[in-house]
């Protein structure tokens, strides 16, 4: 290796030493574990106009210990576990991670792996991270309907309201007679159709409710004849049975 001998003025040497001390001070302030170079290495880097040799040792030490080593281990080995922690703690702080209700376990696993592969590819990670990350995604995902129930979303509140209305209409069909029972049956049919559209009921469940009522009260499924006698009976029923008056709040008696 060749050598170069420099003869410089004391003022220039003092200025270089000030630059070196400033470089060391700033470096240690940014990273207390920074491996400071020698003054000779500093001069050589200044001469070559290249500061990389000054930081190689420091970078190696940072990658072997401290917060940089944790970050490197996380990206290389523990990234799926970090994702699992994020998804697990999401519910505790009001967030959610949901999957489609209609997916089978096989479809959920397939979609999880495709998403994991896309994440690893975008992050330029190792292909070995795909399978553990996909497993974490699959285990952390919740059914969207279960998540809506936990968060009580507007869709969930609507579904619950429909279920309550269907239950009330079903009880009314069981306890009413004649035209009133048929009216409640029509209301029940409309509510069930609406409930199926919004996911409150499955079609099979709605059919079971109607079959139960058909066995319990088959007469309400027969259309009531609408002739002059029927209209007269309805008029007499409304005449002798006026609608109930709304109850007025009772006034407190003053002592």
Kindly state whether residue 23 falls inside one of the protein's structural domains: yes
| C-alpha–C-alpha distance, residues 79 and 85, integer Å | 10
What is the domain count for the chain? Answer: 3
Name the DSSP letter for residue 93: G
User: Are 136 and 165 part of one and the same domain?
Assistant: no
Cα of 176 vs its chain's centroid, Å: 45
Domain edge (last residue) among 106, 132, 147: 147
Q: Parallel, antiparallel, or unpaired for β 142-143 and 98-99?
A: parallel
pLDDT single digits (tens) 180-235: 888 888 889 888 888 888 777 888 888 999 999 888 888 888 766 555 566 666 66
| C-alpha–C-alpha distance, residues 52 and 38, integer Å | 14
Where do the H-state alpha helices sit in the chain?
A: 10-30, 39-48, 52-64, 67-73, 79-90, 105-122, 130-140, 144-151, 154-175, 178-197, 203-216, 228-240
| Average pLDDT of the residues in 172-187 | 86
Confidence of residue 106 (pLDDT cuts 50, 70, 90): very high
Kindly state whether residue 71 falls inside one of the protein's structural domains: no
- Which has the minimum average pLDDT: 52-61, 207-216, 244-253? 244-253
CA dihedral sign of residues 66, 69, 75, 81: negative
Kindly state whether residue 245 falls inside one of the protein's structural domains: no
Kindly state whether residue 2 falls inside one of the protein's structural domains: no
pLDDT confidence of residue 147:
81
User: Are 142 and 99 part of one and the same domain?
Assistant: yes
User: Are 164 and 214 part of one and the same domain?
Assistant: yes
Kindly state whether residue 241 falls inside one of the protein's structural domains: no
User: Are 105 and 161 part of one and the same domain?
Assistant: no
Kindly state whether residue 72 falls inside one of the protein's structural domains: no
Kindly state whether residue 27 falls inside one of the protein's structural domains: yes
User: Are 88 and 25 part of one and the same domain?
Assistant: no
pLDDT exceeds 50 at position 105: yes
Domain edge (last residue) among 147, 163, 189: 147
Kindly state whether residue 242 falls inside one of the protein's structural domains: no
Closest alpha carbon to 112 in 91, 88, 142, 157: 142
User: Are 218 and 160 part of one and the same domain?
Assistant: yes
Domain that holds residue 174: 154-235
């Amino acid at each position: 290796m060749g050598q170069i001998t420099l003869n410089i003025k004391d003022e220039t040497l003092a200025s270089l030493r000030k630059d070196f001390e400033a470089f060391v001070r700033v470096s240690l302030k940014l990273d207390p574990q920074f491996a400071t170079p020698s003054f000779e290495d500093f001069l050589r880097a200044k001469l070559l106009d290249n500061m990389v040799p000054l930081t190689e040792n420091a970078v190696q030490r940072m990658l072997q210990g401290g917060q940089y080593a944790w970050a490197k281990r996380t990206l290389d080995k523990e990234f799926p576990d970090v994702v699992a922690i994020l998804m697990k703690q999401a519910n505790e702080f009001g967030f959610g991670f949901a999957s489609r209700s209609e997916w089978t376990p096989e479809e959920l696993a397939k979609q999880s792996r495709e998403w994991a592969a896309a994440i690893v590819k975008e992050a330029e990670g190792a292909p070995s991270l795909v399978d553990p990350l996909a497993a974490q995604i699959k285990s952390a995902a919740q059914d969207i309907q279960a998540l809506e129930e936990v968060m009580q979303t507007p869709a969930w509140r609507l579904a619950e309201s429909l279920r309550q209305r269907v239950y009330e209409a079903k009880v009314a069909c069981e306890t009413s007679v004649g035209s009133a029972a048929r009216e409640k049956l029509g209301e029940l049919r409309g509510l069930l159709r609406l409930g199926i559209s919004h996911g409150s009921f499955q079609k099979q469940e709605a059919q079971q409710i109607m079959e139960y009522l058909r066995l319990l009260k088959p007469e309400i499924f027969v259309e009531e004849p609408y002739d002059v006698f029927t209209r007269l009976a309805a008029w007499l029923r409304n005449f002798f049975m006026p609608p109930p008056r709304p109850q007025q709040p009772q006034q407190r008696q003053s002592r």
